[in-house]
Amino acid sequence: MLWSTIFVRYASSFINTSSLRRPVFDIKGIISRQDEMRNSISRRGDGSSEQLDFLLRNRETELALQDERNLLTSARKKLGFVLGNLLKQNSGGTDLDEIARLQLELLQYKVKISALENKLDVLSETIHNAVESLPNWLSDSVPSDPNVPELQEVINGDSVQQIESALPISKHDHRTIGLNLGLMNFETAARISGSSWYYLINDGALLEQALIQFSLSRARKAGYTMVVPPSIVKSEIISACGFKPRDQNDEKQVYSIEGEPLSLAGTAEIPLGALHSQSTISTPLKYVGVSRSYRAEAGARGKDTAGLYRVHEFTKVELFHFTDSEKAEGELEELREFQASLIRDLGLKAKMLNMPTTDLGAPALKKYDCEAWMPGRGSWGELTSSSNCGDYQARRLGIKQRSKATGKLEYAHTLNGTALAVPRVIVAILEQFYIPETNSVVIPEVLQPFMDDKKEIRAL
Active site positions, annotated: 295, 310, 382, 385, 424
For every residue of 343-409, DSSP letters joined together read: HHHHT--EEEEE--GGG--TT-SEEEEEEEEETTTTEEEEEEEEEE-TTHHHHHHTEEEE-TTT--E
144 known ligand binder = no
CB 283 within 8 A of CB 401: yes
Select from 13, 37, 32, 74 the least CA-distant residue to 244: 13
383 known ligand binder = yes
385 known ligand binder = yes
240 known ligand binder = no
Q: Is 115 exposed, middle or buried (0-12, 13-18, 19+ CB in 10 A)?
A: exposed
Residue 151: strand, helix, or coil: strand
334 known ligand binder = no
Residue 37: strand, helix, or coil: helix
Select from 387, 385, 370 the least CA-distant residue to 428: 370
CB 173 within 8 A of CB 302: no
Select from 327, 306, 325, 332 the least CA-distant residue to 412: 325
H or E element at residue 413 = strand 413-421
313 known ligand binder = yes
**CA 144 distance to own-chain centroid:** 23
Mark 157-176 as b/e (b = at least 16 C-beta within 10 Å): beebeebbeebeebebbbbb
295 known ligand binder = yes
322 known ligand binder = no
Q: Would you tell me how many other CB atoms lie within 10 Å of the CB of residue 24?
A: 11
Cα separation, 449 vs 27, whole angstroms: 54
Amino acid code (one letter) for 190 = A
Cα separation, 125 vs 50, whole angstroms: 16
Q: H helices of 168-253, where?
A: 174-180, 187-192, 203-221, 235-240
36 known ligand binder = no
416 known ligand binder = yes
305 known ligand binder = no
436 Cβ contact partners less than 8 Å away, ≥ 6 residues apart: 172
267 known ligand binder = yes
**Residue ranges of the binding site for L-serine:** 267, 295, 318, 416
**Residue ranges of the binding site:** 267, 295-297, 311-314, 318, 382-385, 416
**Residue ranges of the binding site for ATP:** 295-297, 311-314, 382-385
